[in-house]
Amino acid sequence: MRIIFHHHPWVYRGLFLTVLALGGILLSGVSAGAESAGAMSAEAETTSVETAPAGTDSAILAENRPWSLMGGYAVEEGALFDGTYSFSPAWQLNLSRREERLQLRAAYLPVPNLSLQAGYDFTTEQYLAGLKYRGEVGENTAFLAKATGYRQQDVDEYFLDYQFDLEIGIHHGHLVFAGIRGEYIPEKPHDPEIYVRMDLNWDFGRNWHLRLEPLVLVEGRVDHRTTLSRKWSNGTEIGIYCKNEDLRWDGGIFVKL
């Protein structure tokens, strides 16, 4: 989802420059903070379609190291990767290529459940700034929010992608999400998508994992993703997946370290 703002360009420019400047200052103390960086990384990010459910051996191991790396190849999307390094509990740097977009992001985590981000999209040549938030609202319920604004180089237009979810844990790592997402562009019709998504997880055999993620939109369209993977005691995970999103089929293989 995207929003175009035609005013206040200093908001994104200022946030972007501030984060990069503070990040440069923090780099001088990387060696002192690197040993404790892993714990915050897992807590700060909201649940993603390619993140192992909390509590698994690989998720626990990920908390004990300052970096995470995923790479793979999809039939339609091509090469994809996502790498994050935590310089300290409060600062991260991420380089990723997902959905055919190459992005670099610096993230500041003032508290464990909030990530403020700024960076650059090399594919669309846009500056970006945004946030991710996760707030517990009950024993098995959480509110998730993420939004990213984009500014095209040399063009006074701003876009915002957003997504809000209510996450409900139902049983043994199974989750249900009720959410809304969209692209908001001022002075243009706004048509957000309202949906219900399930995240169903089963472990079987020797460290095998099956994950089903159906998504039903109120308009009637049904998307889904199915993943089969195997995890090792050192945290390595290798898997295959297939998905149907926006009436487009794709599938591939991935490795997570």
What are the residue ranges spanned by the domains of the chain?
10-256
Q: b/e for 66-82, b at 16 or more Cβ within 10 A?
A: bbbebebebeebeebbb
Q: How many CB atoms lie within 10 A of CB 188?
A: 11
Q: What share of the chain is helix, strand, coil (3-state, %, to 5)?
A: 15, 55, 30
Which two tokens mark 148? 């990213």
Q: What percent of the chain clears pLDDT 70, i.e. is strictly above it?
A: 75
Helix (H, G, I), strand (E, B) or coil at 40: helix
Which CATH number applies to 10-256? 2.40.160.40
In 3D space, the residue among 116, 136, 118, 140 whose CA is nearest the CA of residue 127 turns out to be: 118
The span from the CA of 129 to the CA of 121, in Å, is 10
85 to 68, 90, 205, 221, 226: CA distances (angstroms):
7, 11, 32, 37, 28
**Confidence at 228, pLDDT banded by 50, 70, 90:** very high
In 3D space, the residue among 63, 37, 143, 227 whose CA is nearest the CA of residue 54 turns out to be: 63
Q: What is the mean pLDDT of residues 90-100?
A: 95
- Checking if the pLDDT of 132 tops 80, the result is yes
Burial of 21: CB neighbours in 10 Å, binned 0-12, 13-18, 19+:
exposed
Q: What is the mean pLDDT of residues 131-160?
A: 90
Q: Out of 54-68, 103-117, 215-229, pick the least confident.
A: 54-68
Enumerate the β-bridge partners of residue 204: 208
**Confidence at 167, pLDDT banded by 50, 70, 90:** very high
Long-range contacts of 223-228, Cβ-Cβ distance < 8 Å, separation of 24 or more: 225/49, 227/50
pLDDT tens for each residue of 33-88: 333 333 333 333 433 334 444 444 445 555 678 999 999 999 999 999 999 999 99
- Checking if the pLDDT of 197 tops 60, the result is yes
